[in-house]
Amino acid sequence: MKNTTLIAIIAAAALIIAGVAIVLTNENNSNNDKDTIVVTMGWQKDMLDTICDEQLNVVQMLADGVSPHEEYSTPSNVISLHSASIYFEIGSGVEWEEEFFSDVKADLPSSLTIVNCNDSIEYTALVNPEAEEGSSETDPHIWTSPEILKEIAAVALEQLITSYPEYKDVFTTGYDSYIGEVDHAEDYIANALSNIASGQTVVVWHPAWQYFLCQYLGMDMVGIEVGGEVEMEDVSSKMAGCSILYSSPFDEGAEFADALSEGYGITVKLVNPTASNILSELMKFADYLKNDLSSE
């Protein structure tokens, strides 16, 4: 997992300071008729947009296609954070949250309610063969499990009703709609993977799919990008005898796709664990696995 650089942290802190100054002189924006709530990633925005049904302005801190292990926010998002009523942090150890908010939380306004979305979630250990024995590092990619998405949505609903009881009926209806979308995705995935034989291995570039694989297949996952940068020539030695590698479109695995195919016979298939439309991406991944793994 890549570390956020010191330069990024310093720049982030500077953005906060600049953002506060701008907020003091520009309190109103194009969404001044609605209160603002803030989330970290796009899949959260998709969830909260559905639940809120346009009653609140939902702002995500990390742009789509940006790694949550590297990026800090833009000035406009920092302004939104300072004018927001609620910030829903994933709270699972996502590196951007850990690094950025450890420095800036003390400067956030007391009016901002920070909600940790992971309180009831049972974590699995991070798949890292290079970790020291006894390491307690846990996997932060909890949102790749539809079951956990439901838990996160329930936490969000409870806080939204507490903060905005006048919209309780709207939020409840939106929550039911979102849960219906998750149920549909779960049924689709379960059906797609119903005949997959056990004892197989799935190789991914970034080790983000463990919760998904545990929920549906109880299957091992091998992560190529573990413990730092990976050279293309080292990939084949980590493939565990597999010929298919799943990579985000934004990872180096995608960049290496042609070279891996031509030089090592490795097929790279793209699936994005940080996609805003995460349910669609999970179903896409299920289709890949259905076609690529052996059936009973």
- pLDDT value at position 183? 98
| Nearest-angstrom CA–CA distance, 14 and 6 | 12
Phi, psi (rounded to 5 degrees) for 224: -75, -50
- pLDDT value at position 135? 47
| Nearest-angstrom CA–CA distance, 215 and 293 | 17
- pLDDT value at position 22? 44
- pLDDT value at position 242? 93
143-188 per-position pLDDT tens digit: 999 999 999 999 999 999 999 999 999 999 999 999 999 999 999 9
Query: How many CA atoms lie less than 13 Å away from 97 in the CB half-sphere?
Result: 19
3-state secondary structure 56-73: CEEEECCCCCCCCCCCCC
Mean pLDDT computed over 263-289:
96
pLDDT confidence tier of residue 138, bands split at 50, 70 and 90: confident
- pLDDT value at position 147? 94
- pLDDT value at position 105? 73
Sheet containing 57-60: order of strands:
57-60, 36-39, 86-89, 113-116
6-186 — its CATH code?
A: 3.40.50.1980
Whole-number mean pLDDT of the chain? 83
Mean pLDDT computed over 223-243:
85
181-224 per-position pLDDT tens digit: 999 999 999 999 999 998 899 999 999 999 999 999 988 789 99
Domains 6-186 and 197-290 are alike in CATH topology: yes
106-136 per-position pLDDT tens digit: 788 889 999 998 766 776 766 654 444 444 5
Number of neighbouring beta carbons within 10 Å of residue 197: 11
Nearest in space to 236 (alpha carbons), one of 206, 201, 202, 263: 263
Number of neighbouring beta carbons within 10 Å of residue 288: 17
- pLDDT value at position 136? 54
Q: Is the pLDDT of residue 69 over 90?
A: no
Lowest mean pLDDT among 1-10, 49-58, 82-91, 114-123: 1-10
Please determine, looking at this structure, whether the domain spanning 197-290 carries the CATH number 3.40.50.1980.
Answer: yes
- pLDDT value at position 63? 83
Number of neighbouring beta carbons within 10 Å of residue 19: 23
Contacts of 112 (CB under 8 A, 6+ apart): 81, 82, 84, 85, 86, 87
Mean pLDDT computed over 228-249:
89
- pLDDT value at position 117? 86
Q: Is the pLDDT of residue 282 over 90?
A: yes
Mean pLDDT computed over 255-281:
95
Place of tokens 């590092």: 137
Q: Is the pLDDT of residue 24 over 80?
A: no
Q: What percentage of the chain reaches a pLDDT higher than 90?
A: 55
- pLDDT value at position 125? 62
Phi, psi (rounded to 5 degrees) for 255: -65, -35
| Nearest-angstrom CA–CA distance, 42 and 61 | 8
Phi, psi (rounded to 5 degrees) for 41: -125, 165
Secondary structure (3-state) at 132 = coil
Degrees to nearest 5, angle at CA 66 with 257 and 242: 30
Mean pLDDT computed over 245-273:
94
Kindly list the domain boundaries of the chain, sorted by start residue: 6-186, 197-290
